[in-house]
Amino acid sequence: MRLKGKEFLDKDVYAEDEKIGKVKEIEINLENWKVTDLEVELTRDAAESVLGAKKGGVRNMLATSALESGVASWNDRGLNLRIPKTELHAYLKPVVET
């Protein structure tokens, strides 16, 4: 299966069937042309439970290591991660403006 970059944008992201946010951007390493992260706008619940943030709309970068075969899948709902919310913080990092 192949997807165009724009097909990722604004799609929902789920962790174990619970919506945790939406894909807002795709980050690419221009040295090797590989996708490194997906910028995800977290829901209020996910931002609070995973990061301790008290508001929704928090954006974090989701490492592509969370998207490995068997750990993630794509369907008509969006991106499905087979990662418990309690372990999600290991794959997230703050957005760094360039």
CATH code where residue 53 lies: 2.30.30.240
If pLDDT is split at 50, 70 and 90, which confidence band does 20 have?
A: very high
The yes-or-no verdict on residue 88 having pLDDT over 80 is yes
Give CA–CA dist 94/59, Å, rounded. 7
Contact in structure between 46 and 53 (CB atoms under 8 Å): no
Q: pLDDT (tens digit, 9 = 90+) per residue, 28-70?
A: 999 999 889 999 999 999 888 888 887 777 899 999 888 877 7
Contact in structure between 81 and 14 (CB atoms under 8 Å): yes
Alpha helices in the chain (DSSP H): 5-8, 44-46
- Domain range holding 65? 5-94
- The number of domains in the chain is 1
Which tokens hold the place of 81? Answer: 């991660």
67: nearest Cα among 35, 31, 22: 35
